[in-house]
Structures are given as C-alpha cells and as structure tokens.
Amino acid sequence: MLIQPAPHFEPPPAPSAAFRQLLAGVDGAVRGARHPQELLDGVTGSLREVILKRDLLTDAQKLPDPVRYRQHLLHVAEDGLYSIVSLVWLPTQETPVHDHLSWCVVGVHQGIERETSYRCVGGDCLTELGQGLNPAGTVVGLLPPADIHKVANGGEDLAISLHVYGADLSRCGSSILRKYPAN
Ligand SMILES: [Fe+2]
C-alpha cells in the first residue's frame, strides 16, 4: 500500500524584533492620534526608527516579480484600521500615476525610489509638481487629496519600500484609489 507522506506545513517566520518594534509604534501612533497630521507624524517617526534595520524583512518579503513591481502584505490590524506592505521593484519597474484610498507613510528600506508628484489643475490631474530621488532611509507621509504620484525604481539595483496605509488591504487588495492615464 502506498503511504502518502504527511503534508508539510511551514509556518511563516516569526516577525523580527525590528518589525515588532514597528508594529508597536504604528499601533500606538494610529490609535493615539487626535488628528490626521498627528497620526501621520507618529507613523512616520515609528517607521523612521526601523527603516534601515537589516533584519526588518524576511528574504521572502523581499522577493521581486520579473513582470511588475510586487506587493507583499505583511500585516493587517485585527480591526482593519491599518495595513503594512513591502513593495519590491526591479530596475525600470514603476507604478501608474495614482492616488490612494487613505493616508499612507512610505519608507525606503533598500535602493532608490524615484517619485513624481502631480496635482489637479482645471480637471487635469497630471500637472507635474516635481520629481525626486528617495534613497534608502527616506520616510515620507501622504494625506489625500495631496497624494497623486507615480513611483519607480530610481536606481540600477533592487529597491524595496515599506508602506503603512490606513485601510484593510486584505479586503481591498491595493491602496490605489484611482489610476490616471499617462500623457
Ligand atoms: Fe502610492
């Protein structure tokens, strides 16, 4: 009689000390804030404390996709109040121009990201405000409606960023609210 081997379940690796520190900081900042800017400042400070720690992410959470930039869902608060993802970019990969479902805070963990910002003028939401290179260690917050942008790998090596969003990404899948057609 052929005996099937027992299925092998590999539990996900335990979060690193740096990631647990991030969770504690973000949770306190989100739940303790009295207004949106205070929330954004608190989450930004929490992410800034850990963004360059080498053990922040597991190897699996840093894997790219050869076709397009890749999102790894790392954590969703039990009540869905916020989510944390890593985004991984190979050289030349980029997002469409987009805005967001909620506030967000972005920190560059590795490599360089190039961010192009836009605003709406007379119904045209592709009026370019400027472009900048964000090296590893950069942490910035965005509050809608001032949040239209495009993000790309701005270097020649892998780029990885951590994003905290005020939404349940296990339900909505992505933080993108609208995509704007390219010029
Ligand atoms: Fe974005």
What domains can you pick out in the chain, each with its CATH number?
Answer: 17-170 (2.60.120.10)
Q: pLDDT tens for residues 6-20? A: 556 655 667 899 999
Distance in Å, CA 28 to ligand 1 centroid: 23
Distance in Å, CA 108 to ligand 1 centroid: 13
Q: Cα(129)–Cα(116) distance, rounded to whole angstroms?
A: 8
Q: Say what the pLDDT of residue 144 is.
A: 87
Distance in Å, CA 61 to ligand 1 centroid: 19
Tell me the one-letter amino acid at 122.
Answer: G
Distance in Å, CA 97 to ligand 1 centroid: 8
Q: Cα(175)–Cα(178) distance, rounded to whole angstroms?
A: 9
Q: Cα(33)–Cα(35) distance, rounded to whole angstroms?
A: 6
Q: pLDDT tens for residues 123-150? A: 788 889 999 999 999 999 999 887 899 9
- Cite the beta strand spans of the chain per DSSP E: 70-76, 83-89, 97-100, 104-110, 112-121, 124-135, 139-142, 148-153, 159-165, 176-180
Q: pLDDT tens for residues 35-64? A: 999 999 999 999 999 999 999 999 999 999
Q: Cα(164)–Cα(103) distance, rounded to whole angstroms?
A: 8
Q: Say what the pLDDT of residue 41 is.
A: 97
- Cite the beta strand spans of 59-103 per DSSP E: 70-76, 83-89, 97-100
Distance in Å, CA 32 to ligand 1 centroid: 25
Say if residues 160 and 135 touch (Cβ distance below 8 Å): no
Q: Say what the pLDDT of residue 180 is.
A: 87
Distance in Å, CA 115 to ligand 1 centroid: 9
Phi, then psi, of 161 in degrees rounded to 5: -130, 155
Say if residues 147 and 104 touch (Cβ distance below 8 Å): yes
